Amino acid sequence: MKILLTNDDGVRAPGLAALAEAMGAIGDVFVVAPDREQSAVGHALTLHHPLRATRIEENIFAVDGTPTDCVNLGIHSLLSFKPDIVVSGINRGGNLGDDVTYSGTVSAALEATLMGIPAIAVSLVTANDGSNYSAAAAVAVKLAGIVSREGLPEDTFLNVNVPDLPEARLLPPLITTQGKRSYEGTIVDKVDPRGRSYYWIGTVDLNFRDIEGSDYFAVSRDHVSITPLHLDLTNYNSLAALKSWDLT
Ligand code: MN
């Protein structure tokens, strides 16, 4: 199995190193990852300046772009083959609920899905640096094996969130739905040394609604969460109501 790894924490992030080491047990691992942290860049694609890729080890490339750039460059240029699977992560911090659209980690998996390649995004749910990347990597390896055997439903990728616990303490994976955040004001509003106002979007506590069956519900009870995501953002439940509008 040929495995392409990427992330949004940067090519030197510990989560990516743990993932690469573990994935080596089940296939040939290639890494194409941002040369610096690109968290919360979402699905951004770089169009207005050229990208550079630096080969820092035999199978590891650092790109001065976004996670989505990395998947594009990896698949269309840097690798001489199409990977069997793309795994993005392991992110430092969860990608739960409404936050998935901000996530570079999730967007890299989404990009691979657009290219018809099975993909998994993996995040360690931790508010600090995280101490159990190897446990999350073991989860990723197992899932990658299952995905390669079973395949994924069309247009679907997996958003996996793993509690920051040793492997023996993780409870079995649950298939979950995308949860919802409870939004609260987290903007830091201060004055800089030159007397001008500045605003800083603050670090956000894990503050999600405890919806049964959701990603947050699972990880807050020490279960691994596996949410199948797809690319179609259409709200099908709203179609009937909107089609009843008189638009003439
Ligand atoms: Mn990140």
Mean pLDDT, range 47-69, rounded to an integer: 98
Mean pLDDT, range 121-137, rounded to an integer: 95
Q: What is the pLDDT of residue 243?
A: 97
Q: How far is ligand 1, taken at its centre, from the CA of residue 245, in Å?
A: 42
Q: How far is ligand 1, taken at its centre, from the CA of residue 43, in Å?
A: 13
- Using a CB cutoff of 5 Å, list residues around ligand 1, an ion: 8-9, 39, 91
Q: What is the pLDDT of residue 205?
A: 64
Q: How far is ligand 1, taken at its centre, from the CA of residue 1, in Å?
A: 26
Q: What is the pLDDT of residue 206?
A: 61
**The pLDDT of residue 168 is above 90:** yes
CA distance 76 to 82: 8
Q: What is the pLDDT of residue 186?
A: 77
Mean of pLDDT over the chain:
95
CA distance 167 to 136: 8
Domain ranges of the chain: 2-181+210-233
Name the band, by pLDDT with cuts 50, 70 and 90, for residue 108. very high
Name the band, by pLDDT with cuts 50, 70 and 90, for residue 191. very high
**The pLDDT of residue 183 is above 90:** no
Q: How far is ligand 1, taken at its centre, from the CA of residue 235, in Å?
A: 28
CATH number of the 2-181+210-233 domain: 3.40.1210.10
The model's pLDDT over 204-235, given as tens digits with 9 standing for 90+, comes to 666 899 999 999 999 999 999 999 999 999 99
Q: How far is ligand 1, taken at its centre, from the CA of residue 31, in Å?
A: 16
Q: How far is ligand 1, taken at its centre, from the CA of residue 85, in Å?
A: 20
CA distance 163 to 123: 9
12-17: long-range contacts, CB 8 A cutoff, minimum separation 24: 13/37, 13/92, 14/92, 14/129, 14/130, 14/133, 15/89, 15/90, 15/91, 15/92, 15/124, 15/130, 15/133, 15/136, 16/89, 16/90, 17/133
